[in-house]
Amino acid sequence: MATIKTKDVVASLCKKGFVERSETHHKYYILYCDGIKTTIKTYMSHSCKEVDDYLQGQMAKQVKLYKKDFIRLVSCELSADGYIKLLKANKYL
């Protein structure tokens, strides 16, 4: 699989309702739904320049998606509304 630039992942997550929080050696991205903080979050190292295949899989698990759906989320094929619907259908929200 191809790597994805970190800035592209961050921009997409922020468009989908995630809010960045920088703590220690990681940047955390926490999902807010209708202005309410959820338990769904993911993180990356401050020094991360690209998200490789392994990290894509790990981040997908953290945000409660299959890897293929995570890639769709980041590439904007999966909208914020579609993502929220998936989370609700799978009883994560």
Domain 4-89 in CATH 3.30.920.30: yes
Identify the three-state secondary structure at position 88. Answer: helix
Residues 6+ apart with CB under 8 A from 27: 10, 20, 21, 43, 44, 45, 46
The per-residue pLDDT for 11 is: 94
Q: What is the pLDDT of residues 3-50, one digit of tens each?
A: 899 999 999 999 999 999 877 778 899 999 999 999 999 988 777 789
49-92 per-position pLDDT tens digit: 899 999 999 999 999 999 999 999 999 999 999 999 999 999 99
